[in-house]
Amino acid sequence: MDQIDQARIEDEPLLLTPGPVTLSARVKRAMLHDYASGEAVMQETIAWSRRYLLDLCNAQGTHTAIPLVGSGTSGTEAAIGTFVPPNGKLLIHTNGVYGDRLVEIARRIRTPYTSFRTAPYTPPTAEQFAAAIAADPGITHVMVVHCETSTGILNPIESIAAVCRRAGKGLLIDAVASFGAFMLDAKALSFDAVICSANKGLQAPPGLAWIIAKKSALEEAKGNAHSLTLDLWDQNQHMDRTGMFRFTPATHLLLGFAEALREHAGEGGIAGRHDRYRRSWRRLVDGMRQMGFRTLLEDEVASPIVTTFHEPLDPAYSFKALYEGMKRRGFIIFPGRLAAANTFRIACIGVVTEDDIGRALDALEATMREMGVAGMGRI
């Protein structure tokens, strides 16, 4: 199989963040073309991308792939606004910042909803979902974040989907961070919609969201949308009919996206990408623990997308100094205060390899010495 193109601009730091991610040179080169939106090359690019995404999640025949210009959050808002009817009600689970964002979207666009929160360090159970559904007969749809990147926890989507099937509820999955690195089988999960971002596991330029939508559920959603630009039913019917976006598309991003999908296929698809992320994550976690760092999550519930670490207790430590030291040495990391105080996060997605993680560990150790942090075992 082909290998990922790891060539990068030399003076740019490597992004060890859960988005945006560092892109390969071949994806960047693919964007160096100007095409009108109606040209055959653009229509072919969009059509091929739609087919590839459906193939990735065993969705041919039952689902359709709908692109939108915007962030992954644009996609989640479009899905909530399109699929939940005015007389429906959405059950939202949250165990982190991105679950909370779903609640904020539903509130802001006035979608009827209820929510329940579980601990950010442990996955929810099927029984908790079943109880929440049983407690409110008005619920028509359920929405959950697959990988909650504010901590790195992976929520148990298969058991949640089974509860929704038994209860006859539509399932919306926020797979913004996980799509492309985890299998989400449309036939097995029977989801109404999966939302993904171009710039996470698919390693494409940011600025595109994609929704894999069940055709039958989408037809039932005609007329629901709260927004013209985020109307998934309208976007899909126009695209099926014309092969084009309703409004000016992000042509350069679409070209980069298609090249990223070819790169994904060359790496071995979902299995190949997941394996690389998992190897990088294992080296990261093991290396950090050897230095004395503690992870926020136990390995059994953690994803290989991003890992959250407790900060040192040493008074010589500061995240600002850590960030600046890592940046000077060629790496960008994120603070972790989104979900837990006194933490920071390091991601393993984008064109990141085990060797890159090894270099990052060396850079982190050098930065800690530069700060004068001692007694790492006290972290």
C-beta of residue 331 within 8 angstroms of C-beta of residue 13: yes
Nearest-10 Cα torsion for 264, 101, 122, 175: -20
What is residue 93's three-state secondary structure?
strand
C-beta of residue 344 within 8 angstroms of C-beta of residue 273: no
Distance of CA 111 to the CA centre of its chain: 23
Position 86, amino acid: P
What is residue 275's three-state secondary structure?
helix
Fill in the DSSP letter of residue 297: S
Most distant pair of Cα atoms in the chain: their distance: 64
345 annotated among ligand-binding-site residues: yes
Q: How far apart are the first and last CA of the chain?
A: 42
C-beta of residue 155 within 8 angstroms of C-beta of residue 147: yes
Position 244, amino acid: M
- In angstroms, the CA 92 to CA 81 distance is 14
Distance of CA 70 to the CA centre of its chain: 14
* Annotated binding-site members for substrate: 345
* Annotated binding-site members: 345
